Amino acid sequence: MNITKSISLFQEAQKLFPGGVNSPVRAFRAVGGQPLFIDRGEGPYLYDVDGNRYIDYVLSWGPLITGHAHPKVVEAIQQAALKGTSYGAPSLLEIDLAKSVMDFMPNIEMIRFVNSGTEATMSALRLARAYTKRDKIIKFDGCYHGHADMLLVQAGSGVATLGLPDSPGVPAAVAADTLVANFNDLDSVEALFKKYPEQIAGIIVEPVAGNMGVVPPVKGFLEGLRAITSREGSVLIFDEVMTGFRVHFGGAQTLYNIKPDLTTLGKVIGGGLPVGAYGGKHEIMQMVAPVGAMYQAGTLSGNPLAMSAGIAALSLIREEGCWEKLEQAAAKLEAGILSTAKQAGVPIQQTRVGTMFTTFFSETEPKDWNTVKVADKVRFGKFFQKMLENGVYLAPSQFEAGFLSIMHTSTIIDKTIEAVTEAFRTW
């Protein structure tokens, strides 16, 4: 594989950007080698600057459910751009996208658009705190909710511990209000409520964890979170920035039939442009300025380019039979990887919910961060490099989700399984 141009661009980029990238995982540190510089995307494919083509399972880390450069999405953006890129004033497009999102997720009674998932989660937490007049929040070890200070916290040792900052620059005082529980472990949640009675504003959770690799909720976990937060007067926030439109078009809340108080969205709803959103119960959303006192604003929020791309993407997936096709393709991929690994005698744990999947190189069933982190990163790195050589672009880390788009047809899945077979043949 010739990546000469990528190599020279990466050298230049490292002088300009920390690590040569504008978001850390892109640097390929976890898998070795160096990042590829991308020239263009088309349907299920990415093309690098040296002209190599890859079947893409990263899809810009989730947003591109309609694949790269879908003609209808591109046209929507072009048409919008002709009428101006931002007004800083209300437009019909915001109403259209809001209604479209709410059709898929009826628990969202009112919504506010922002520009990223990070903005969505930090605003939702501010809102939960304003609504409950409490300061502490609970997150789960191994779940990622963007890079706001209070969310860059993972567990210390043991379960019911105070969070420690995960990054220098996060003030200890900020991290102190973030409590960390174990994913899929209701006892760890109960223990925190016992220790901090009437102090916990809310729980934020990835209802299907995706940012430690895909880890589905065990039966009763989400139901338990709903029951506990209702009992304690805390706000339940489903962070569906990744799972929204991906584990099911209606998100995890539809798939598992649980009603969170607030939902955060991003990724898919922007059709590949920067969009986030938070929304939920009318009563809580009434606290948001200018109706209420909880302040949150955005210069480019609801801009016509992003709204148009989102509207176009959601209208494409609304077509009859779309989810069934996606689910079939994803199931076929899952079965293909599993049987190929089995034949080759390579121990893996394959997880999948809807269009999100992870192949863990592990003999331990992934249930939480403790059971996930034992996965073999060296073996994953080897698999990643072999897949790349065979024309398949996976997320460059063991602890990330893979994604499918409506352009990942049965033929594309067959090609991918061939690449997996080839990777394991020379294992």
Binding site for ligand PLP (CB under 6 A): 116-118, 121, 144-146, 206, 210-211, 239, 241-242, 266, 276
Give the residue with the Cβ less far from ligand PLP, 241 or 395.
241
Q: Cβ 300 to ligand PLP, closest distance in Å?
A: 14
Q: Output the smallest distance, CB 63 to ligand PLP, in A.
A: 9
Per-residue CA distances from 48 to 54, 55, 298 (Å): 8, 11, 34
> In the Cβ-directed half-sphere of 267, how many Cα atoms lie within 13 Å?
28
Q: Which two tokens stand for residue 316?
A: 């494409």
Alpha carbon 369 to its chain centroid, in Å, reads 16
Residue 116, both tokens: 């990223």
Which lies closer to ligand PLP via its Cβ, residue 163 or residue 210? 210
Between 119 and 185, CB nearer to ligand PLP: 119
Catalytic residue among 45, 144, 278, 393: 144
Q: Which residue is nearest to ligand PLP (CB)?
A: 117
Specify whether the CB–CB gap between 307 and 97 falls below 8 A.
yes
With tokens 């991003």, the residue in question is 266
The C-alpha atoms of residue 277 and residue 245 are separated, in whole angstroms, by 14
- State in angstroms the smallest separation of the CB of 5 from ligand PLP: 28
Q: CB of residue 293 vs ligand PLP: minimum separation in angstroms?
A: 25
Least distance (Å) between residue 401 CB and ligand PLP: 8
Q: Which amino acid is at 250?
A: G
**Beta carbon nearer to ligand PLP, 266 or 381:** 266
In degrees, rounded to 5, the angle at the alpha carbon of residue 231 between the alpha carbons of residues 226 and 232 is 100
Q: Which of 139, 267, 281, 367 is catalytic?
A: 267
332 is catalytic: no
Given 239, 281, 368, 393, which residue is catalytic?
Answer: 239
User: DSSP secondary structure string, 59-107?
Assistant: GGGTT-TT-BT-HHHHHHHHHHHHT-S--SS--HHHHHHHHHHHHH-TT
Residues with Cβ < 8 Å from 111, sequence gap 6 or more? 98, 101, 102, 277, 278, 279, 285
Specify the residue for token string 């080698």.
Answer: 33
Residue with Cβ nearer ligand PLP (35 or 244) = 244
Q: Is 406 exposed, middle or buried, given 0-12, 13-18 or 19+ CB atoms closer than 10 A?
A: buried
Output the six-digit token pair for 33. 């080698």
CB of 367 to ligand PLP, least distance (A): 18
Output the DSSP codes for 131-173: HHT--EEEEETT----S-GGGSEE--SSSSPBPEESSTTS-HH
**Catalytic: 47?**
no
In angstroms, give the least distance from the CB of 126 to ligand PLP: 15
Instruction: Report in angstroms how near the CB of residue 308 gets to ligand PLP at its nearest.
Output: 18
Q: What is the distance in angstroms between the CA of the first residue and the CA of the last residue of the chain?
A: 19
- Distance in angstroms (rounded) separating the CA atoms of residues 258 and 369: 23
Give the C-alpha separation, 175 to 112, whole Å: 26
Residue 270 and residue 309 in contact, taking contact as beta carbons nearer than 8 Å = yes
Q: Which CB atom, from 94 or from 239, has the smaller least distance to ligand PLP?
A: 239
Q: Which residue reads 């903005």 in tokens?
A: 119
Which of 61/380 has CB closer to ligand PLP?
61
The yes-or-no answer on residue 267 being catalytic is: yes
Which residue in 220, 426, 417 sits closest to 329, CA to CA? 417
Q: Classify burial at 15, counting beta carbons within 10 Å of its beta carbon; exposed 0-12, middle 13-18, buried 19 or more.
A: exposed
> Closest CB to ligand PLP among 63 and 336?
63
Positions annotated as catalytic residues are: 144, 239, 267
